[in-house]
Amino acid sequence: MDTYYVKRALEILREEGPVKLAKASKRFLISRSLPVEQRWRMYSLRKVWIESHTGIGDPLRVYQVDPREIQYIHAGGGVDFIDSGDWDIEGKTHVRDWFFMKLFSKHFELGIPWGEIDEYQMMEDKIKRCGYIEMLDLPKDKQSVERLHEYYTYIDELYNTIKTSGYKSQRELDVEDDFAKRDCHPALNEIQVRISRDGEIMPSTGYHRFTIAKILRINSVPVRTRARHLEWQKLRDETHNNGLPEGHEDLRDHPELQDILN
């Protein structure tokens, strides 16, 4: 089946042009008629054909980063794949100023019970007022204050498991280990990161796991790139085509470039 769809895409490109291929590819992906690995890799091929981004790489690639070196998270929404503009500047927050770092530090480092922490009380109050919060790994119609309490009991267990047994990748875990029971491709359930124009690695999902890893000073966790700034993608393209550009030798060990440098 893989060979058929690749041949069909090449036929459309050759006979009807890149615009037609782009539209057909979009419909094809939306239809979800292929397993997730094939859909994502088909999208990657489309980016190469239509936009000449030769340095896309495997869109399901999982690689290791050191959370101790990450200083910013990206909480801005609506940015996936490749995008230009100032989203990488406007949506980032320093870890020390971040809601979850304040919440988790008070609980795990200072030993304050969840219910006595201001940030936790804010979440309880919002659920009572609005019925849900965006930062709880459950559908809006499944949320309640009671479920919030259950979730943070799960967070306590997760913290203790990571502390005693180490940080495991999603491939090493079972669906039942996930509070939300998400049955998706393992790569899509890892910490998802966005890459700024200058290569800053910023988590944009998996906030709880990232925060626990940060507090425990774990030196390596698996992540997947969810989005790149266009300027960083151009650097990847140039590196893929001609090697690391002059003046960028300091990026030789950058985790997000290792798939095209090695």
Query: How does pLDDT run across 222-256, given as a tens digit for each residue?
Result: 999 999 999 999 999 999 999 999 999 999 999 99
pLDDT of residue 1: 44
Query: How does pLDDT run across 83-118, given as a tens digit for each residue?
Result: 899 999 998 999 999 999 999 999 999 999 999 999
pLDDT class of 2 with cuts at 50, 70, 90: low
Kindly report which listed range (15-19, 52-56, 64-68, 190-194) carries the lowest average pLDDT score: 15-19
pLDDT of residue 147: 94
Q: What is the DSSP string of 80-95?
A: -EEE-SSHHHHTEEEG
Kindly report which listed range (22-31, 90-99, 142-151, 192-201) carries the lowest average pLDDT score: 22-31
pLDDT class of 44 with cuts at 50, 70, 90: low
CA distance 137 to 143: 9
pLDDT of residue 14: 75
As a whole number, mean pLDDT of residues 62-87 equals 91
Q: Who wins on pLDDT, 22 or 261?
A: 261
Element at 54 (helix H, strand E): none
List 65's β-bridge partners, or say none: 221
Query: How does pLDDT run across 150-164, given as a tens digit for each residue?
Result: 999 999 999 999 999
CA distance 171 to 20: 37
CA distance 74 to 168: 23
- pTM higher than 0.75 for the full model? yes
CA distance 48 to 53: 5
Element at 46 (helix H, strand E): helix 36-51
pLDDT of residue 50: 55
Token reading at 121:
């009380």
Query: How does pLDDT run across 137-146, given as a tens digit for each residue?
Result: 888 999 999 9
